[in-house]
Amino acid sequence: MVLCRLAGALPVGRRVIPQMPWRSSSSAAAPIQACRLFSSSPELEEPEVLFSKEGYTNFVILNRPKALNALNLPMIRAMFPEYQIMEKANSSRLVILAGAGEKAFCAGGDVKALYLEGVNKAGTQMRKTFFREEYQLNFLIGTLRKPHVSILDGVTMGGGVGLSVHGHFRVATENTVFAMPETGIGFYTDVGGSYFLLVCRAIWAPSSGSRESASRA
């Protein structure tokens, strides 16, 4: 895989993760604490997003493998300031985004967390906050002046597509499963899906919610 060529690597199952000192985002610690309830994990045993740097290369790893790296608000708030730093830093010349575990890059937004928030009075506002900040992160990635490479190894759906498709490069593997499944429950594609899928001339996928393999993507 690409990660092997860019840094010393440690195999984890079939996935290869760079072997380096990972860290969580210190700048995002307060926001993560403030919105801890907006996560399907009652206690965070380890950071949900890992950041590291080797030479001029920045690595960002979505670290919720048990939840197929589903995207929640704490993850968004951890990533946004880090991407802002990488955008401005002269020592950052490449960003690589990948998912931990053996099954998924990112299966989309954390629907369970969104549902759980919906049962309390703040649910509506929190859902608006989630989508607003998710789209802001998508825009930041899409306008990043540094080369951005997403490794789509495994399930890549919904919000995971939004994190990857707006960047400069996407690497599909034999395990990639690409889809915008929200159309199956009556929603139209978000995260810019109505634009990028049409540009890719992929009319069937956004309208049907069908899943595409790497050979068809």
Does 13 participate in catalysis according to the annotation?
no
**Secondary structure class of 17 (helix, strand, coil):** strand
- Locate 87 and state its tokens: 């955008």
23 alpha carbon, distance to own chain's centre: 17
| 128 burial level (CB within 10 Å; 0-12, 13-18, 19+) | exposed
* Catalytic hit among 99, 109, 154, 160: 109
Does 142 participate in catalysis according to the annotation?
no
Does 190 participate in catalysis according to the annotation?
yes
* Catalytic hit among 99, 158, 159, 193: 159
Does 159 participate in catalysis according to the annotation?
yes
- Locate 86 and state its tokens: 């990488």
Distance (Å) of CA 190 to CA 27, 46, 161, 167, 214: 28, 29, 10, 16, 21
Strand bridging mode 15-18 / 49-54: unpaired
Please give the Cα distance from 87 to 95 (Å, whole number): 10
Which sequence positions are flagged as catalytic?
109, 159, 182, 190
